[in-house]
Amino acid sequence: SSLFGHVEPAPKDPILGVTEAFLADPSPDKVNVGVGAYRDDNGQPVVLDCVREAERRIAGNLNMEYLPMGGSIKMIEESLKLAYGEDSEFIKDKRIAAVQALSGTGACRLFADFQKRFLPDSQIYIPTPTWSNHHNIWRDAQVPQKTFTYYHPESRGLDFSGLMNDIKNAPDGSFFLLHACAHNPTGVDPTEEQWREISHQFKVKKHFPFFDMAYQGFASGDPERDAKAIRIFLEDGHQIGCAQSYAKNMGLYGQRAGCLSILCEDEMQAVAVKSQLQQIARPMYSNPPVHGALVVSIILNDPELKSLWLKEVKGMADRIIGMRKALKENLEKLGSPLSWEHITNQIGMFCYSGMTPEQVDRLTDEYHIYMTRNGRISMAGVTTGNVSYLANAIHEVTK
Ligand SMILES: Cc1[nH+]cc(COP(=O)(O)O)c(/C=N/[C@@H](CC(=O)O)C(=O)O)c1O
């Protein structure tokens, strides 16, 4: 028998498979509101001006040397300031073990592998629902998963009491995966007050919070505001883990620029933990890519470029917020019998519409509209040019 005859075709990825189907569709009316990637009002991908300027500054004088296993020190420094705060005591005390990672996915995976290696009996509580790849990451790291209540379908909001119950009922010292802001796919975030209650309960239970922060700045338009959950936990004295990504908020999708950080008890522990994170990276990819890290470092380290970035990331967030309003208004104008309040109550890249897989299939089959079957709409794919077409189709399949 042939060597690889038993290898079955892999199932389509629930998110990236939608992009493939969209690209294969010849219809001129097709609309892609599947993958969470920003598009401008013409439906085109965007390279931010701050990124183009950073590229101009490094053009030609790039060296192609290896980065250290832990990645670019400068990029890590800038990333920690963004997540933990410019004046963070934890940065000053060198208590944070941090390595450059292959974007947010790579940061989550490094953490999951670290968790498996050094806390082999631990498991991880993952919100219901969550970004589909979270399950794959901790599965492949062989860390057992549990789920915790998060989304409340009836109100299309947060099931806070269900969430708090699950936090209370989990064994002491459990690991929890938390979306720092712009929860994917629901667009539902705890309020500041709710984050404070969650943080308090985590102290009582000695739980460990691992924040996946893939959208800092992209949710509210203000990176400081979008880091509020992390800052609350830090003020309460928690040790945390954090996965950062520059895919969405800096548009560096394909550059795979991210950072994994773990707040340790002291500098010596941070040095040990960082050295072990590097030990995991070395046989996996040896060291991370140099280009994206350089772009990030130049932008965040230069006050002029950083303020340009802040303006541009707010611009992206504002456009999405504008499309939320437009989509809701179009549905209301069509006389939809349903409430669409959640479209503007939710935040970040996604609207969790509440549509069923069958309704999503009809949108694709009858209207060439592509979204994940859980009814998640990537709002960045909505433009002034397609919002009424999209609203009409949604109305037709939901009325
Ligand atoms: C919560 C979350 N975490 C991490 C990532 C990974 O991003 P990276 O490019 O590795 O930095 C994504 C990407 N989400 C979108 C794209 C994807 O599925 O990869 C999405 O949900 O469409 C997330 O939504």
Q: What's the predicted TM-score (pTM) here?
A: 0.97
Q: How far apart are CA 391 and CA 387, in angstroms?
A: 6
What residue's CA is closest to ligand 1, atom 18?
A: 15
Q: Vertex 38, ends 111 and 325: CA angle to 5°?
A: 115
Query: Pick the catalytic residue: 138, 226, 228, 248?
Result: 248
Active site residue 93: no
Tell which one of 245, 370, 374 to mutate to probe ligand 1, the residue whose CB is within 8 A of the most ligand atoms: 245
Tokens of 385: 């040019």
Asked about 248 being catalytic, the answer comes back as yes
Separation between Cα atoms, residue 176 and residue 132, nearest integer Å: 16
Residue 248 exposure: Cα atoms within 13 Å on the Cβ side: 29
Q: Which pLDDT value is given to residue 63?
A: 85
Instruction: Extract the residue ranges of the chain whose pLDDT is less than 70.
Output: 1
pLDDT tens digits, 275-332? 999 999 999 999 999 999 999 999 999 999 999 999 999 999 999 999 999 999 999 9
- Set 131, 138, 309, 340: catalytic member: 131
Classify residue 285 by its DSSP letter.
T
Distance (Å) from CA 377 to ligand 1 centroid: 14
Written in H, E and C, the secondary structure of 349-395 is CEEECCCCHHHHHHHHHHHCEECCCCCEEEHHHCCCCCHHHHHHHHH
pLDDT at residue 60, rounded to an integer: 83
Residue of 180, 86, 208, 183 whose CA lies nearest to 128:
183
Beta bridge partners of 152: 157
Residue 184 near ligand 1, beta carbon < 6 Å? yes
Please identify, by atom number, the ligand 1 atom nearest to the C-alpha of residue 253.
9
Per-residue confidence (pLDDT) for residue 61, from 0 to 100: 78
Residue 214 Cβ < 6 Å to ligand 1: yes
